[in-house]
Chains A and B, each alone.
Chain A
Amino acid sequence: QLQLQESGPGLVEPSETLSLTCSVSGGSIGGSNYYWAWIRQSPGEGLKWVGSIYFRGNTYYNPSLKSRVTMFVDTSTNDFSLQLTSVTAADTAVYFCARHQGDCSSSSCFLSYYYSMDVWGQGTTVTVSS
């Protein structure tokens, strides 16, 4: 059974970079039709999709965060990561990682409007404060 587990610092200082990792177990992060996503939840914004990455490195980011977000995938360790730069208190949230299918062919894989996020991690709380 596929499981996702978020990890990273629970406290980040303002203007610094938030770095989180999602470890995937019970299945391979590569060689499939799946994208791997970050979603965050805060009282002010509710649930907000941050971005998604395919194992070949294709990325899609939320336009409101795009200038500060970078996602990476490491197939050797079967995990993927999120970096969010220049954080402020508004970035304080519970961060979830999740899986969703992409619109894939033998040669490419795009973000799909059709599929849901079917597996979620338990979430990790990140507080931005000095």
Chain B
Amino acid sequence: QSVLTQPPSVSGAPGQRVTIACTGSRSNIGAGYTVHWYQQLPGKSPKLLISGNNNRPSGVPDRFSGSKSGTSASLAITGLQAEDEADYYCQSYDSSLSGFYVFGTGTKVTVL
């Protein structure tokens, strides 16, 4: 039922680059609203990874970067590390009846 769609899983070997797409619509990402990304380690709460489309909070490695274009956004992880194995969620604002703040369906990143 999420209005933001992500691939269920992506994988890569250590050191590789992976990207996660977040596909929305004209009532959220396409309307210009900012996109944020969260990392959720197993059994933990989500942690803010990228805010305002492409800003990293203090302490987040520069291996993580975000971008946005049209009705989609992307999270890139370069130099993939074992500790990056987690679930990743995008989040934005939606101006329809979907509920103001909406999250993506989530993507499981597996480090091979």
Contacts and interface: CB of A to CB of B under 8 A. Distances in A.
Nearest to A6: B45
B42 to A, nearest CB: 13
Contacts, number: 68
Contacts of A39: 103
A34 interface: no
B36 interface: yes
A123 B45 contact: yes
A67 B48 CA distance: 30
Q: What range describes how many residues of A lie at the interface?
A: 20 to 34
B45 A49 contact: no
Interface residues of B, number: 27
Given A116-B52, A118-B57, A47 B46 contact: yes
A48 interface: yes
Contacts of A121: 45
B103 A114 contact: no
B45 A63 contact: no
Interface of B: 1-2, 33-34, 36, 38, 44-48, 51-52, 57, 89, 91, 93, 97-106
Interface of A: 37, 39, 45-49, 52, 60, 62-64, 96, 111-118, 120-123
6 contacts: A46-B1, A46-B103, A49-B102, A111-B100, A114-B93, A115-B34
